[in-house]
Every structure is written in C-alpha cells, then in structure tokens.
C-alpha cells in the first residue's frame, strides 16, 4: 500500500509539472549536446532502443535518425501526450511513446541494443532492481546510458529537505547516494562501465555501461 501511494503521488507530481517542464530551457546546453554526441557513438542504424523516464520526448526525438526504432516510456500521461505532439510536429515516425513506468514495463530478455535512463535513476525507489531488469532486456554487448544526480556527493543538506518536500508534494521521491554507490550498483548488476563523465561539481554523472558479450 505504501508503494502504491508513492507511485500515485509521483504520477500526480509529474503530470502537474509536465507543461512547465516542456517549456523549461536545458540548464547546460553544452553538456547536453556532448551527452547526445557520446551516446550516438554507440548507435547503429539497425538498433532497437528503449528510453525509460523519457519525459516530454526531446532526447528520443533527437536520437531517432540514428537508430531503427526507439520505444520511449514515461509514467506521466501528460508527459507522453506532449512527447507525441512533438513527434507529430517533427514528422518522427520511428519513436513509439507509451505511458508506462519501468517497473510495469515488460519486454522479453535480450530485446534491446541500448537502453537510456536519463535523469531518472535517483528518482526510483528500487534502482538496483531496475538496473538488473535493464541488464536482462539488453542484448549481449548492449549499452545502458544514464545520467544521474548523485546528491550525496554535492548536496548533503538535501537529505533533510527531501522528506519535507515530499510530504507537501513539492518534490518527487529523490534517493540520496554517492557516485561510488551508483558505480557499484551498475557493476553488481552485471555491467562494465565503458565511459564516465561529469560536467562539473553538482552536475549529474553520465555513464555508458556495457553488458558483457559473455556473462
């Protein structure tokens, strides 16, 4: 019951934020473009890609020309509505937007060549389980691309603010962990870290982790 209440609150929060989120400029455009460029170095035209926590779809739409198909999911129906409108306006036909959280999403093992989870791992109650799920859905040699706020490294005070903010519906669930915790979760989940970059202090940690060809 507690978990269901958390999920309902999260849905409401992100539905409420969707329109504002879609109009908010990217905080660090240069870093965002570098993440796009690095990610595309791992893409091939025949790839099937999953992006979870896709928000209003800008990243999936930007990557669409470089792969065969992207399945983009988010548990906010309002985010997905905006994403579908963007795709239609830009005549993007190889991205499928669906309302689903990563917990409820299902796909056969070894379905995807790449999975993207950008600015989302720290918003999950069960990050370790999600990492294991991503690993199962990836083909051998596939990559998991993430960008994650490791708040315990740079915003230690946030652990005192977060419970109050959640109580009043001002902020969603935010997990507090270190960059080393994230790295350990990925390696324990069966990944090898292939690339890592952090634009600066207090910025999200961008990681490309690869599923071994033989595991």
Kindly report the CATH number assigned to the domain that includes residue 198: 3.40.50.150
What is the spatial distance between Cα 145 and Cα 195, in angstroms, rounded to a whole number? 9
Do residues 186 and 206 make contact, with C-beta atoms less than 8 angstroms apart?
no
pLDDT band at 44; cut points 50, 70, 90: very high
What is the total count of domains within the chain?
A: 1
pTM of this structure: 0.86
pLDDT band (50, 70, 90) for residue 69: very high
Mean pLDDT of the chain: 86
For residues 50 and 120, the answer to whether their CB atoms sit within 8 Å is: no
Q: Is residue 147 part of a domain?
A: yes
24 burial type by CB count under 10 A (0-12 exposed, 13-18 middle, 19+ buried)? exposed
- Predicted confidence (pLDDT) at residue 19 exceeds the cutoff of 80: no
Residue 160 CA to residue 88 CA, distance in Å, equals 42
> What residue numbers bound the domain in which 167 lies?
2-210
Residue 105 lies in a domain: yes
Task: Find the farthest-apart pair of alpha carbons in the chain and give their distance in angstroms, rounded.
Answer: 47
Lowest mean pLDDT among 24-33, 66-75, 120-129, 169-178: 169-178
Whether 215 maps to a domain, the answer reads: no
C-alpha–C-alpha distance, residues 99 and 85, integer Å? 14
Is 146 domain-assigned? yes
Best CA proximity match to 6, nearest among 120, 166, 131: 166
Residue 152 lies in a domain: yes
Backbone angles phi, psi at 68, to 5 degrees: -75, -50
Average pLDDT over residues 156-169: 43
- Token pair for residue 183? 């790295």
pLDDT at 2: 42
Average pLDDT over residues 76-95: 95
């Amino acid at each position: 019951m507690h978990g269901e209440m958390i999920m309902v609150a999260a849905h409401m929060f992100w539905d409420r934020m969707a329109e504002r989120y879609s109009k908010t400029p990217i905080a660090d455009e240069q870093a965002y473009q570098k993440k796009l460029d690095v990610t595309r170095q791992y893409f091939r035209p025949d790839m099937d890609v999953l992006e979870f926590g896709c928000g209003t779809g800008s990243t999936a739409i930007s990557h669409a020309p470089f792969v065969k198909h992207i399945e983009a999911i988010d548990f906010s129906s309002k985010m997905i509505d905006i994403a579908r409108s963007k795709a239609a306006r830009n005549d993007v036909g190889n991205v499928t937007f669906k309302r689903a959280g990563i917990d409820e999403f299902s796909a056969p093992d070894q379905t995807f060549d790449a999975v993207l989870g950008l600015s989302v791992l720290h918003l999950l109650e069960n990050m370790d389980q999600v990492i294991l799920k991503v690993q199962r859905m990836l083909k051998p040699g596939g990559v998991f691309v993430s960008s994650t706020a490791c708040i315990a490294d740079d915003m230690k005070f946030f652990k005192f603010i977060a419970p109050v903010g959640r109580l009043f519906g001002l902020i969603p669930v935010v997990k507090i962990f270190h960059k080393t915790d994230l790295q350990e979760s990925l390696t324990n989940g069966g990944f090898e870290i292939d690339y890592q970059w952090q634009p600066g202090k207090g910025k999200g940690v961008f990681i490309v982790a690869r599923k071994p060809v033989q595991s």
